[in-house]
Amino acid sequence: MIKNKRSCYFILFLFLSTSAIAKNHLVELKTESPEEVRKWLTIQGFEVEGYSKKRKALQVITAFPFVIGELAKKSPDIGSLFTIGDVTETESYFGFANKKGLKWKAEENYLGAEESVAQLRKLEAEFPSVAKIYNLNEFLGVKATEEGRHIYALHVSLHPEKIEDKPKVLFLGQHHARELMTQHAVLDAAEALLRDAKSGMLKAQLSINEMSFWFVPVLNPDGLDYVLSTDRMWRKNRSRNVANLRGVDLNRNYSVKWGVCGNNSSESDSEVFKGLRPDSEPEVQVNEKLNERLHFQYSISYHSLGDEVLNPYLCGEMAESAVYFKVRDELSALLQYGQRAPSSGGEDHESHYNKLGTLAFLLEIGDEFQPDFSEYRRLVWPTVKKVLPYVAEQAREHYLKIKVIDDETGASISGAQLAIQEIVFKENEQRTTDDFGSYWWRLPEGLKGLSVTKLNYETQSLALTITGKVDSVVVRLKKKNI
Ligand SMILES: [Zn+2]
């Protein structure tokens, strides 16, 4: 019961301020100097989604679009480098698409979280001998998301019901809820691989026979459904924060370099809120634990937009730059994409590389933020479809497989620590054998000194000649006499 006019105004104020927080805007800054303006915006605390070459505009999402103009007045040098173009207020993606008169046909449009799982089930049903769906929360023992959803993967391999001693590759989409194209980049890659193999394409068949592919189209199902139903510019998940604010930026929540550098925030209403502690979010735990379990050789995480390849680290020294940057350069040449360091510490590719040596890249796909789905098919997918065949070939044809076994029993030794004398890690990187006692390492050609250590075993050191193609070595560890 509202007792007087004053309390009534107070409640109205509260309502208005809460709605103001919720209303995001997509702001286009027309500029010919995207790098300078991006840098300035980042320093001001804005998250820049990317630069559309076609529109010659940086795309920024903010609840306070007028602030950009106010700040520009105070910095005329930068202010003269851009003009504010379209400012579009938040609404549901469905509402937005209806206004644009987009025709809705489920198979020709962006999918919701449920529909995405249904698409995985369709592929599993059509290719049952080589594709199997996994409920990752159950598989990895991670609790459901805030809204009770689970995250699903399609495993494509010769025996998809098993985890085998093979090179493994991960494709991930939809860390960020509003990046609608990214789940399709993953779904379409799975479908293309399966269809190519069925139609007799030798390389696709080889990949399925010799490797293990994991496709996770939607890492952030709560956020995705919120984008479709309520706010097409929502970025984070839907975790409950203090004061009824929602959402953690999943790609700021990973534990490696968490909050150490770049564009992230401790404020829970920020677009780039890093969470209260590293790995706090179930979505992030799923991704981290999946890699801990499987040890991916490569991982590709799709985001949008900007046509760019991102590699670790934003802050920190990359000890394996010769190999890492070679793959990055080949990938960006193949796709005609630019390249840059990540926007912040705490991103998933930094964590995967640091903890397990996964050659992990973040790809910003497309030149528009949420293009009509037909444009994704026509303009974006023809480029993005080149990623999987390239990565699969790298994973199949360039590695040193190190297998560590007990000298006496021949049993595999998991968790053995590996080091290469010529590679000096500066960021506490770990390289350890998986459940099969294996580690797949892509090393530069030449003579390398390998050492293997494991508690209760004698350390073993040996010299290896790396060809840069497929090499393998079995290391036998002797138990210490205690
Ligand atoms: Zn993103």
User: pLDDT of 397-424, one tens digit each?
Assistant: 999 999 999 999 999 999 999 999 999 9
Give the Å distance between the CA of 50 and the centre of ligand 1. 9
Q: How far is the CA of 4 from the centre of ligand 1 (A)?
A: 46
Q: How far is the CA of 267 from the centre of ligand 1 (A)?
A: 19
Rounded to the nearest angstrom, the distance between the alpha carbon of 294 and the centre of ligand 1 is 24
- Whether 408 and 393 map to the same domain: the answer is no
- Asked if 392 and 407 sit in the same domain, the reply is no
Centre of ligand 1 from the C-alpha of residue 85, in Å: 22
Give the per-residue pLDDT at 103: 64
Reduced to 3 states (helix: H, G, I; strand: E, B; else coil), residue 214 is strand
**What is the bridge-based pairing of β-strands 359-364 and 308-310?**
antiparallel
The CATH number linked to 23 is: 3.30.70
Considering its fold, how many domains does the chain have in total?
3
**In a shared domain, residues 293 and 390:** yes
Of residues 421, 448, 292, 443, the one with CA closest to residue 356: 292
Same domain for 146 and 211, yes or no, is yes
Q: Compute, in angstroms, the gap from residue 6 CA to the centroid of ligand 1.
A: 43
Determine the average pLDDT of the residues in 87-107: 79
Looking at this protein, which amino acid is placed at residue 368?
Answer: E
Residues 83 and 112 occupy one common structural domain: no
The answer to whether residues 132 and 44 belong to one domain is no
Boundary residue ending a domain (372, 397, 422): 397
- What's the gap in Å between 331 CA and the centre of ligand 1? 19
Ligand 1 centroid–CA 389 distance in Å is 23
Same-domain pairing of 445 and 330: no
Residue 147, domain member (yes or no): yes
The distance from CA 9 to its chain's CA centroid, rounded to whole angstroms, is 45
Q: How many angstroms is it from 402 CA to the middle of ligand 1?
A: 35
- For ligand 1, the distance from its centroid to the CA atom of residue 72, given in whole angstroms, is 25
Q: Read out DSSP for 240-297?
A: B-GGG-B---GGG--STTTTTSBS-BS-TTSTTB--SSTT-SHHHHHHHHHHHHH--S
Q: Is residue 285 part of a domain?
A: yes
Does 229 share its domain with 310? yes
In the chain, what's the furthest Cα-to-Cα distance?
84
Residue 99 lies in a domain: no
- Is 181 a domain residue? yes
Query: Ligand 1 centre and the CA of 184: distance in Å?
Result: 14
Same domain, 145 and 18: no
- φ, ψ of residue 383 to 5 degrees: the values are -85, -45
* 364 Cα–ligand 1 center, Å: 7
Q: What DSSP designation does 343 have? A: S
Contact between 345 and 90 (Cβ < 8 Å): no
Residue finishing a domain among 90, 119, 136: 90
Cα(438) to ligand 1 centroid in Å equals: 32
Q: 53 is in which domain, residue-wise?
A: 5-90
**How many A from CA of 376 to the centre of ligand 1?**
16
**Residue 234 C-alpha to ligand 1 middle, in angstroms?**
11
The reply to whether 482 falls in a domain is no
Q: Could you tell me if residue 222 is inside a domain?
A: yes
- Please report, for residues 347, 408, 458, 463, the alpha-carbon distance to residue 174 in angstroms, rounded to integers and kept in the order given: 14, 47, 45, 43
Give the count of beta carbons closer than 10 Å to the beta carbon of residue 430.
11
Compute and round to an integer the Cα radius of gyration of the chain: 24
Task: Measure the CA–CA gap between 222 and 178, rounded to whole angstroms.
Answer: 11
Spacing, Cα 373 to ligand 1 middle (Å): 18
DSSP H or E stretch at residue 419: strand 417-420
CA distance 328 to 355: 19
Judged on CB neighbours under 10 Å (0-12, 13-18, 19+), 454 is buried
The CB-side HSE value for 353 (13 A sphere, CA atoms) comes to 31
Q: How far is the CA of 284 from the centre of ligand 1 (A)?
A: 14
| pLDDT value at residue 9 | 41
Average pLDDT over residues 126-135: 98
Q: Are residues 129 and 200 in the same domain?
A: yes
How many other β-carbons are positioned within 10 Å of the β-carbon of residue 203? 14
Rounded to the nearest angstrom, the distance between the alpha carbon of 302 and the centre of ligand 1 is 8
Report the separation in Å between the CA atom of 200 and the middle of ligand 1, taken as the mean of its atom positions. 35
The answer to whether residue 238 is domain-embedded is yes
> What is the spatial distance between Cα 337 and Cα 465, in angstroms, rounded to a whole number?
34
Q: Residue 102: pLDDT above 80?
A: no
Residue 3 has pLDDT above 90, yes or no: no
pTM: 0.92
Inform me whether the pLDDT recorded for 274 exceeds 90.
yes
Question: CATH number for the domain including 408?
Answer: 2.60.40.1120
According to the model, what pLDDT value does residue 235 have?
Answer: 95
- How does pLDDT run across 312-352, given as a tens digit for each residue? 999 999 999 999 999 999 999 999 999 999 999 999 999 99
Q: So what's the pLDDT on residue 98?
A: 84
Rounded distance from Cα 254 to ligand 1 centre (Å) = 14
How many whole angstroms from 179 Cα to the centroid of ligand 1? 6
Note the pLDDT tens digit of each residue in 345-386. Answer: 999 999 999 999 999 999 999 988 899 999 999 999 999 999
Residue 353 neighbours by CB distance under 10 Å? 23
Å from CA of 343 to ligand 1 middle: 10
Q: Report how far ligand 1's centroid is from the alpha carbon of 365 (Å).
A: 10
Q: From the CA of 387, how far away is ligand 1's center (Å)? A: 18
CA distances from residue 335 to 43, 185, 311 in whole angstroms, order as listed: 30, 14, 15
What is the per-residue pLDDT for 106?
58
**Average pLDDT value for residue range 34-42:** 92
Q: How confident is the model at residue 45 (pLDDT cuts 50, 70, 90)?
A: confident
Q: Quick check: is 174 in a domain? A: yes
Same-domain status, 473 and 342: no
- Secondary structure letter of residue 412 according to DSSP: B
Please give the distance, rounded to the nearest whole angstrom, from the Cα atom of residue 382 to the centre of ligand 1: 20
Distance 304 CA to ligand 1 centre (A): 6
CA of 346 to the centre of ligand 1 (A): 13
What pLDDT does residue 97 have?
86
Contact of 275 with 252, CB cutoff 8 Å: yes
For residue 333, how far is its CA from the centre of ligand 1 (angstroms)? 22
- Whether residues 266 and 256 share a domain: the answer is yes
- CATH number, residue 113: 3.40.630.10
User: What sign results for the dihedral spanned by CA atoms 359, 365, 370, 373?
Assistant: negative
Read off the DSSP letter of residue 104: P
Distance 296 CA to ligand 1 centre (A): 21
User: Cβ of 481: how many Cβ atoms within 10 Å?
Assistant: 5
Domain edge (last residue) among 362, 397, 432: 397
CA of 399 to the centre of ligand 1 (A): 30
In sequence order, the 6+-apart residues with CB closer than 8 A to the CB of 401 are 438, 439, 440, 470, 471, 472, 473
Averaged pLDDT score across all residues of the chain: 92
CA 394 – ligand 1 centroid, Å? 25
